[in-house]
């Protein structure tokens, strides 16, 4: 039994969401971690999510199966190549092909459904507006609009038991700041996987946008990436 209030934390197995889980715990919440099997290429990230949830003391870790691949339209779910070796400027420009239509909206509504069952009012999501790689659903306007919708969509909203808050603590951090924050909270980034196109064993490709952004983050933070050290790749 715990007297900490529950919070649902979206957990991809990547660096950002692992940090977000650590922040939720440090703020006194009992974190319930939620991951998705959504037809993505990078299923090894679910193994990473399980490792992170266990290491950071999540109350529960649930993997929901959803079917975004059914609609196609993204390199992460459809049969389209993940772009490789783009420089920072290319990454920053426009919405990439790895964008999954309405993904964060779908993930957050699942988080909302679970929160309602748990009696939780706080939804943690590791979206980030600076390094956001052009995803529209990583912007602060989206986060606010989702919160407004959540409070009208639910029994808790109608009955006035509380107000849902979408908590996006990484929103205005740089990748380096996220890494420093996580390290201070004891996150082992060696457990995380950021790559869009890993090997079946879960080794990062080191060439996709996510790998490039992660490498730059560790470089800017002035610390080595433990995931690369473990793989003997530094």
Contact residues: a second copy, CB under 8 A: 62, 64-68, 70-73, 95, 99-106, 109-110, 112-114, 116-117, 136-137, 139, 141-142, 145-146, 148-150, 152-155, 157-159
| CB 84, min distance to a second copy, A | 21
3-state DSSP call for residue 229? helix
N-terminal to C-terminal alpha carbon distance within the chain: 43
Q: Which is nearer to a second copy, 114 or 189 (CB)?
A: 114
Classify residue 130 by its DSSP letter: S
- The two three-digit tokens of residue 147, written as one number: 């919160």
| CB 233, min distance to a second copy, A | 33
| CB 156, min distance to a second copy, A | 9
**Is 215 in contact with 225 (CB distance < 8 Å)?**
yes
Q: Which is nearer to a second copy, 152 or 222 (CB)?
A: 152
| CB 98, min distance to a second copy, A | 12
Q: Which is nearer to a second copy, 110 or 183 (CB)?
A: 110
Q: How many CB atoms lie within 10 A of CB 46?
A: 20
- State the Cα–Cα distance between residues 143 and 168, nearest whole angstrom: 8
Q: Which is nearer to a second copy, 157 or 217 (CB)?
A: 157
Q: Which is nearer to a second copy, 107 or 196 (CB)?
A: 107
From residue 39, give the alpha-carbon distance in Å to each of 72, 78, 103, 188: 10, 8, 12, 27
**Considering only CA atoms, which of 222, 211, 212, 218 is closest in space to residue 189?**
218
| CB 138, min distance to a second copy, A | 10
């Amino acid at each position: 039994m715990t007297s900490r209030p529950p919070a649902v934390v979206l957990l991809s197995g990547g660096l950002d969401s692992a940090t977000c889980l650590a922040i939720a715990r440090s703020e006194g919440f009992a974190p319930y971690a939620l991951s998705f099997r959504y037809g993505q290429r990078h299923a090894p990230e679910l193994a990473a999510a399980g490792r992170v949830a266990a290491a950071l003391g999540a109350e529960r870790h649930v993997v929901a199966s959803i079917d975004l691949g059914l609609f196609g339209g993204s390199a992460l779910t459809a049969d389209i190549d993940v772009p490789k070796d783009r420089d920072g400027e290319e990454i920053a420009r426009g919405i990439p092909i790895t964008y999954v239509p309405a993904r964060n909206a779908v993930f957050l509504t699942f988080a909302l459904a679970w929160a309602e069952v748990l009696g939780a009012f706080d939804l943690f999501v590791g979206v980030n507006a600076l390094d956001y790689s052009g995803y529209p659903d990583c912007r602060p306007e989206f986060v606010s609009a989702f919160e407004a919708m959540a409070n009208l969509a639910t029994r808790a909203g109608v009955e006035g038991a509380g107000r849902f808050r979408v908590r996006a603590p990484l929103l205005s951090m740089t990748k380096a700041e996220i890494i420093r924050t996580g390290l201070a909270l004891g996150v082992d980034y060696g457990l995380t996987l950021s790559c869009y196109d890993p090997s079946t064993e879960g080794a990062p490709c080191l060439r996709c946008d996510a790998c490039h952004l992660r490498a730059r983050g560790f470089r800017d933070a002035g610390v080595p990436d433990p995931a690369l050290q473990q793989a003997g790749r530094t």
